[in-house]
């Protein structure tokens, strides 16, 4: 709803940056405020994931154009799919080793993607 109603007026890079920043912000809220921030965590994390689903298709199209779109999406998504398949195992191992502090692993990955997106410029 957020993407369709408000964010469609902006370049896909803007919505992708917001989506990437949502999980680290949610993690900081959860760790800082504990259980009472669980709703904020769920809302931010869920909204970020939802927007990211749309951004995975619209951002490459906006940055690179439609020529070779299918091939480009395949190359961009292949590493993501492999890591997505391994994520439960990796996060489970992190939870076992670090407990709740494992959330900083996911927040760090989200922050790194946000920083990488800041380096991108509109085409």
**pLDDT averaged over consecutive 10-residue blocks of the chain (123 residues)?**
69 90 95 93 92 88 90 91 93 93 93 94 72
Query: Cα–Cα distance between 119 and 114 in angstroms, integer?
Result: 9
Query: Cα–Cα distance between 64 and 92 in angstroms, integer?
Result: 36
Q: What is the pLDDT of residue 9?
A: 79
Cβ-Cβ contacts under 8 Å for 45 (sequence gap 6 or more): 22, 23, 26
| CA of residue 28 relative to chain centroid, distance | 15
Query: Cα–Cα distance between 59 and 10 in angstroms, integer?
Result: 11
């Amino acid at each position: 709803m957020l993407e369709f109603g408000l964010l469609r007026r902006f370049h896909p890079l803007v919505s992708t940056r917001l989506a990437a920043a949502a999980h680290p912000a949610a993690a900081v809220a959860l760790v800082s405020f504990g259980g009472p921030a669980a709703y904020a965590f769920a809302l931010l994390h869920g909204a970020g994931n939802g927007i990211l689903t749309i951004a995975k298709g619209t951002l490459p199209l906006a940055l690179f154009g439609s020529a070779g779109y299918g091939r480009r999406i395949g190359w961009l998504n292949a590493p993501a799919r492999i890591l997505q398949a391994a994520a439960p195992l990796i996060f489970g191992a992190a939870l076992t080793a670090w407990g709740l502090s494992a959330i900083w692993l996911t927040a760090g990955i989200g922050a790194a993607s946000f920083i990488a997106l800041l380096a991108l410029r509109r085409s």
